Amino acid sequence: MSKHPAEALFDGERAFPVIPTCEHFAGSEKLIGKALSLQSKLGPVFDITMDCEDGAATGSEKQHAEMVVAMQTSAANEHNMAGVRIHDYTHEAWKQDVDIVVPGAGDRIAYITIPKPTAASQIAEMIAYIQDVAKKAGITREIPIHVLIETHGALRECHQIAALPWMQVLDFGLMDFISGHHGVIPASAMKSPGQFEHELLRRAKAEVCAAALGAGVVPAHNVTLDLKNAYQTYQDARRANQDFGFMRMWSIYPAQITPIVQAMQPDFSEVQVACEILLAASKANWGPIQHAGDLHDRATYRYFWQLVQRAHTSGQALPDEVTAWCS
pLDDT at 82 over 80: yes
Report the 10 Å Cβ neighbour count for 135: 11
Average pLDDT over residues 176-204: 96
The span from the CA of 289 to the CA of 116, in Å, is: 48
Q: Tell whether the model's pLDDT for residue 275 goes beyond 90.
A: yes
Q: How far is CA 46 from CA 236, 260, 299, in A?
A: 17, 9, 29
- Which superfamily does 9-264 belong to? Phosphoenolpyruvate-binding domains (3.20.20.60)
pLDDT at 11 over 80: no
199 pLDDT tier (thresholds 50, 70, 90):
very high
- Under the banding of pLDDT at 50, 70 and 90, the label for residue 15 is confident
The Cα–Cα gap between 63 and 266 comes to 41
For residues 268-290, average pLDDT: 93
pLDDT-derived band of residue 228, with 50, 70 and 90 as boundaries? Answer: confident
**% residues pLDDT > 90 (the chain):** 90
Q: What is the pLDDT of residues 236-258, one digit of tens each?
A: 999 999 999 999 999 999 999 99
pLDDT digit string, tens, across residues 83-117:
999 999 999 999 999 999 999 999 999 999 999 99
Condensed to tens digits (0 to 9), the pLDDT of residues 116-126 reads: 999 999 999 99
What are the extents of the domains in the chain? 9-264, 267-326
Does residue 49 have a pLDDT over 70?
yes
Asked if pLDDT for residue 167 goes beyond 90, the answer is: yes
What 101-105 contacts at long range (C-beta under 8 Å, 24+ apart), as own/partner pairs, is 101/52, 101/65, 101/68, 101/69, 101/72, 102/130, 102/133, 102/134, 102/137, 102/139, 102/143, 103/133, 103/136, 103/137, 103/139, 104/66, 104/69, 104/72, 104/73, 105/68, 105/69, 105/72, 105/73
- Of 9 and 215, the structure prediction assigns the larger pLDDT to 215
When mean pLDDT is compared over 10-19, 244-253, 307-316, the highest value belongs to 244-253
What would the mean pLDDT of 207-231 be, rounded to a whole number? 96
Give the pTM. 0.93
Per-residue pLDDT at 214: 96
pLDDT at 13: 77
Mean pLDDT of 279-283: 93
1 has pLDDT over 80: no
Q: Are 240 and 249 in contact (CB under 8 A)?
A: yes
Reported as a pLDDT band with limits 50, 70 and 90, residue 14 is confident
Contact status, residue 291 vs residue 302, Cβ threshold 8 Å: no
The mean pLDDT value of the chain amounts to 95
Q: Please compute the mean of the pLDDT values over residues 28-48 and round it to a whole number.
A: 96
